[in-house]
Amino acid sequence: MSGDLSEPAHFMTTRAMDVAVGVARFTLVTGMTFLGLLAITFFIGRVVPIDPVVAIVGDRASQEVYEATRTAMGLDKPLMTQFAIYVRDVVTGDLGVSLTTGRPVVEDLIRFFPATIEMATAGILIGVLLGVPMGVIAAARAGSWLDQGIRVLGLLGYAVPAFWMGLVGLAVFYAGLGWVAGPGRIDIFYDGLVPTVTGLLTVDALLAGDWTIFVNAVSHLVLPAAILGFFSLAYIARMTRSFMLDQLAQEFVTTARVKGVSERAVIWKHAFYPIRVQLVTVIGLSYAVLLEGSVMVEIVFSWPGIGNYLTTALLRADMAAVLGATILIGTVFIVINRLSDLLYRVFDPRSR
């Protein structure tokens, strides 16, 4: 009897140890990846042909002022000491002060990043809601004119430049048809009327109960989000089609058809269900790419997001802002990749 009682306790202990080891491994891998990101950004900041001291004091400053500023910035210390100080500052939230805005870089990132999140989130929703069904349909009708059309659409998503599509979209849907609002995140006379709670303008407008500003914000958002959604749609549809073709060729799908299972059930239940795990990774990476790669769309639409901020900082040799934005983007990739791994384990018990 005592042996029977000890077995569940032993199982729970083993399970707890497995969970603890998994959490420790997850934390260690994430920490090492983040440290690698900091090392890359640190050495990029040291090898670029831009003197951070000159960027602050100017090229006409005296040698005494130059040396004093260099010492104050810690650039006279050994390289590894500088890296340790850099890691400490980043971990404590000190990314320096932007020469462009005159504000701490952290404050700038908090101010500009929600705009990018809002546009990228709307874009990935469009990409998933349209791309996944299109990929499934293309695989189910492989070789048909519908499949060929979806594949051509996917190729256009890879071939057409984002800035060209943005300009054409503005010319047709804004200037020509007047269906959407123009560049910017909101009309200027609505700017600042909604209290900032989340930084997501559409969400803040809903929280404030201001439907006029919400509609205006959506009108500004829909075109750039649709363009981003088109690019993510192309990738998601292509990968979904590839995964589905592989599943539809499996023996269990053939067996289901022989047993008289409806084609709809074969496609969505037997073939689509197993590819959920793979799609999690695809969608996660697509979302990360939208957060990082929306620079041209933000420039065309004068969207006040992290891409526009990073481009302006690069043009003005504002290395504190450039490195801060790079760290943020890299951190987003790390977080999304790790979350994708966790969801992979949730959906596929074999990987636990």
pLDDT tens over the chain, length 352 residues: 445 545 565 555 666 666 676 677 777 877 788 788 888 878 877 776 666 676 666 667 677 777 777 777 667 777 788 788 888 888 888 888 887 788 888 989 998 899 999 999 999 999 999 999 998 888 888 888 888 888 888 788 777 887 888 888 888 888 888 888 888 888 888 887 888 888 888 888 888 888 898 999 999 999 999 998 888 888 898 889 888 888 888 788 778 777 777 878 888 887 888 888 888 888 888 888 888 767 788 888 888 888 888 888 887 777 788 888 888 888 888 888 777 777 766 666 555 5
Cβ proximity of 317 and 51 under 8 Å:
no
Task: Count how many residues are written for the chain.
Answer: 352
Q: What are phi and psi of 104, to 5 degrees?
A: -55, 140
Cβ proximity of 125 and 292 under 8 Å:
no
Cβ partners under 8 Å of residue 186, min gap 6: 201, 213, 216, 217, 220
Confidence (pTM): 0.79
Give the sign of the dihedral formed by CA 79, CA 84, CA 89, CA 90: positive
Q: How far apart are CA 191 and CA 302, in angstroms?
A: 14
Give the sign of the dihedral formed by CA 340, CA 341, CA 345, CA 350: positive
> Which CATH code for domain 109-351?
1.10.3720.10
